[in-house]
Amino acid sequence: MLVTGNFAEVQINYEPFIEKPPLFIWVQALSMKVFGVNEFAARFPNTIIGFISLLTFYFMGRKMYNVRFGFIWALCYFGSILPNLYFKSGIIDPLFNYFIFNSVFWIFYSIRSTDKPTLCIFLAGLSTGLAILTKGPLGLVLVILTVLGYWVLRRFRKIISLKNLFIFFLTAFLVSSVWYIIIVSKNGFGFLLEFIQYQLRIFSTSDAGHGQPFYYHFLVIAIGCFPISILAIKKLVPSGLFKAAGSASKDGKTSELINWMQILFWVVMILFSISVTKIVHYSSLAYFPLSFLAAMYLNELLEKKQHISRLMFVFLIISGSVLSLLIALLPVIFYYKDHIYSYIRDPFAVACLNTPVEWSGYEFLIGIIYFAALIYALYQIRFANVLRGSYFLFFSTAITLFFFLIIVAPKIENYSQGPAIGFYEKYSGQDVYMTSYGYKSYAQYFYFKKPQGQDQNSRDIKWLLEGNIDKPVYFVTKSTDIEKLRNFQGIDFIEQKGGYALFYRPR
């Protein structure tokens, strides 16, 4: 967008990209306009979205219950693994999930509140429209399924007036249609049909090799959302959907909100478990209701002056210990990688491990320190002070993730893709063609910063390999495909670093 000045269309490799609408891309483009085209600018929007999400949880929790609950809710999200990591990413989902969550909350509040219900339903429609502009019609589908779930729970009694339904759909349509109308007027209905077909295809086919078993997202949530995935267990029991669960405020709003959060959680988990294409971030919307339900459980303990059950204590100890062990062992495995080559059957993985990376040998202490903090926190929650233990548990998890990401993660990334990115950056800005061979990657478009106006044939790998090229070509390939490229005449091997090799074809 910044290079072409075309903000109406999402493009990859200067070709129309039908998979996503533009809202999040606009936000990233604005960030890059301010900070330059770099990784910080790509991730910065989600950092802001994360901060806004935590404030939203706090103010919603304070409004629905009290200040302490609002703070615990925000802390549950901030101090869990995947929720914390997602706001350091550059992907679309955090913004999309935020709009969906807000839409569900405002629909709930329009039903329960006698104060300005029309305004609430308007805000719900606005949030849904923005969600559609972020990731497509799926935004509307998730909201509708959640409302239908609550309608079934209420035994099909009227929950929303026809007037409010009209306001909701009209607002969502007007907000989201702005971009769709521009695209149709510019490209015709063919582009829109392609877009809709893609949205349907990801549910019916295994796109890009992302076929996983039905239970995939449940594993992701159970392991990746520690500790809220365990603390919320008692609030996720299906029977809880058919009775008021947990603490309720005097007007019953909090009890109703629990039902809405339970329904939203199960809508996400079931819908994306049914989907044939399964990618880890597809179920990330479930983090929002999961954090609320975990906060409700902790708040109940505080109100009733109870401690967590022995069984939950054991679950937390086991899960936390495994997590601590993984954090401690990962650096050790890479530090002593020479001793594990004989156990690895994948030659590409072995080649990646040969990438020179400097380890101090003390990185494992992050996992050890986290384990000690975990034991102290769980002891407090079980035997002493639930609030103090909860604070210690979530803050120690967030701090551990912070140090792991700045000390360990970049070194692991150097093994997996560091050499390839290094090749792209080395020739960035030069008047050459740069492409991957033998594997699919978008990295070259970002790190090589492919200029606009290169020959249209540059998208054709066969032309780059054998055609009448007008400028030199660099190929980045995996170590396992080196011999395939050697078979092409006039293509020279330049160098190999770790699991990747660089080839050159002169003009």
Return all residues near 278 (Cβ < 8 A) that are at least 6 apart.
210, 211, 212, 216, 217, 272
Residue 238, pLDDT score: 47
SS3 382: helix
Alpha carbon separation from 479 to 83, 417, 473, 483, 485 (Å, rounded): 35, 12, 18, 9, 10
Supply the angle between the helices 365-383 and 386-407 in degrees, to the nearest 10: 170
First-to-final CA distance of the chain:
30
Residue 460, pLDDT score: 87
Beta strands 492-497; 500-505: pairing state: antiparallel
**In whole angstroms, what is the distance from residue 264 CA to residue 108 CA?**
12
- Whether 104 and 260 have beta carbons less than 8 Å apart is answered as yes
Residue 39, pLDDT score: 93
Among 5, 4, 7, 19, residue whose Cα is nearest residue 442: 19
Return all residues near 71 (Cβ < 8 A) that are at least 6 apart.
58, 61
- For 415-452, letters b (16+ CB in 10 Å) and e give bebbbbbbbbeebeeeebbbbbbeeebeebbbbbebee
Residue 206, pLDDT score: 57
Q: What backbone torsions phi and psi does residue 447 show, to the nearest 5 degrees?
A: -80, -30
Letter for the amino acid at 138? L
β-partners of residue 504 are 474, 492
Encoded tokens for 367: 């996992």
Alpha carbon separation from 435 to 174, 288, 482, 489 (Å, rounded): 41, 39, 15, 18
Tokens 């099909």 belong to which residue?
156
What is the 3 state secondary structure string of 202-255?
A: HHHCCHHHCECCCCHHHHHHHHHCCCHHHHCHHHCCHHHHHCCCCCCCCCCHHH
pLDDT by residue for the chain (507 residues), tens only, comes to 999 999 988 888 888 887 889 999 999 999 999 999 999 999 999 999 999 999 999 999 998 889 999 999 999 999 999 999 999 999 999 999 999 999 999 999 998 776 788 999 999 999 999 999 999 889 999 999 999 999 998 888 888 899 999 999 999 999 998 888 888 887 777 777 777 777 676 666 655 455 578 888 999 999 999 999 999 998 887 444 444 444 444 445 667 889 999 999 999 999 999 887 778 888 999 999 999 999 999 999 999 988 898 999 999 999 999 999 999 999 999 999 888 888 888 999 999 999 999 999 999 999 999 999 999 999 999 999 999 999 999 999 999 999 999 999 999 999 999 999 999 999 998 889 999 999 888 898 899 988 887 767 788 899 999 999 989 999 999 999 999 999 999 999 999 999 999 999 998
Residue 254, pLDDT score: 66
**In whole angstroms, what is the distance from residue 269 CA to residue 217 CA?**
7
The dihedral over CA atoms of 256, 288, 105, 170, expressed in degrees to the nearest 10, equals -140
Return all residues near 16 (Cβ < 8 A) that are at least 6 apart.
9, 10, 187, 191
Q: What backbone torsions phi and psi does residue 502 show, to the nearest 5 degrees?
A: -115, 130
- Dihedral sign, Cα of residue 70, residue 73, residue 78, residue 83: negative
**In whole angstroms, what is the distance from residue 92 CA to residue 248 CA?**
34
Q: How many residues does the chain have?
A: 507
